[in-house]
Amino acid sequence: MELFGREGRDGIYTGPAARELARACAAGGSGLTEADLVAQRAEWAEPISLEYRGRRILEMPPNGQGIIALVALGILSFDDLGKLSPAERMHLEIEATRMGFAEAFPRVGDPRCVEVDVTALLTESALSGMRDRIDPKTAQPQPGIGRDLGDTTYLCVVDAAGNAVSLITSISSVFGAGVVAGRTGVVMNNRGAEFSLDPKSPNLIASGRRPRHSILPAMALRDGRPEFVFGCMGGMMQPQGHIQLMVNVLDAGMGLQEAIDAPRYRILDGVDVAVDDGLDPEVIADLEQCGHQLKSSEKLPLGSSFKGSAQMIRFHRDHGSLEGGTDHRIDGVAIGL
C-alpha cells in the first residue's frame, strides 16, 4: 500500500512488485506473466441506464451484469407495485428478476469480444413482451445462474460539494484464489472463475478477454443529479439487491434504513427462493401457493452469499440534507462528518 501511495499504478503493475506477483502465480501453475501485468489497463466505462419511477438508474455495462437489474426494473415499471399486497409485489419482483437473468445473463461477456445489444433488451416493446410472459399467480422455473460465492466490499460516499462515489471491489470467492503473492501481501483474485470452456459461451476463455463479473456499483439520478448512491455485496445477489432496494424506496415508500433492513429474497435454481427469516408468514404462505419453493437463508451452506448486504446514501435536495443507511447483516456503518 505504501508503494502504491508513492508510485501509483506502476508501483504494482511494473517493477519488483509485478515480478513478485508473476513469480507467485507461476509457482502455482498459472500462466499469468509479468508482461500480462504490464499490459493491464483500466477503462472508463459509460454506464447503462433505464428510467424507473422518475429516476434514471445507472448500472455498469457488460462485462458487468447491471443489465439484469435494468431488465427486471423495466418489467416492473408496467405495474403499480404500491397498490399490490406484499406477496403480490414480491411474486412479481421474483419473476421479473428471473426474467432478467434468463434474458440477460446468457448474453453478457466482454463487449470488446462479443456483441451485447443492451438497447434492444431495454426497449419498451421488449420489456412489455417479457412482462406479458409473467403469470401473476404462478412461479416459473429459473435456469441455473452459476456460482454464488463472493468476497466483496462496497462503500458509497458524498463530500461537502455534493460529489458522489459508488465503489465496489471484489477478489471473488472466499479469500479469492486462496493465494498470497509472496512478499507483497496481495491476495490474488478469483474472477477468472467466470470464464467458460464452452465455445458457444460469451465468456469463452481467451487471451485479452475479461470475464463476466458481478460487481455492481450503482446510482439513481433525478433531474440529472444523483439522488441515490447504492450497492450490494454477495455474488449473484447484487443485481437482485438493487431491484429490491429500488422497489422498497420508490414503490413501497420506505426510508433507506427500512429498505435495507427489509427481509430479502434470492432466487436459486428452478423455483427455489431463499428468504430472510423475518418475512411475514402470511407472505410466505401466499408465495408458496404460487409455487415458489422457499428456503430459509439461515439454513443455506456456510459461505453462501445470500445476504446481498447493502449500503445507501440519499440526497434530500429540498431541504439540503443527506440520509444514509447500512446493513444490519454486516459490520458496516453510516457516518456523517
Would you name the residues annotated as active-site residues? 152
Asked if 46 contacts 36 with a C-beta cutoff of 8 angstroms, the reply is no
Residue 11's CB is within 10 A of a number of other CB atoms, namely 17
Residue 151's nearest CA partner among 64, 55, 243, 234 is 234
User: For residue 275, how many C-alpha atoms fall within 13 Å in the half-sphere facing its CB?
Assistant: 22
Residue 49's nearest CA partner among 58, 39, 38, 40 is 58
Please enumerate in sequence order all residues whose Cβ is within 8 A of that of 98, keeping only pairs 6 or more positions apart, or say none: 140, 142, 267
Please enumerate in sequence order all residues whose Cβ is within 8 A of that of 129, keeping only pairs 6 or more positions apart, or say none: none
Burial of 200 (0-12, 13-18, 19+ CB in 10 A): exposed
Cell readout for 208 is 485479452
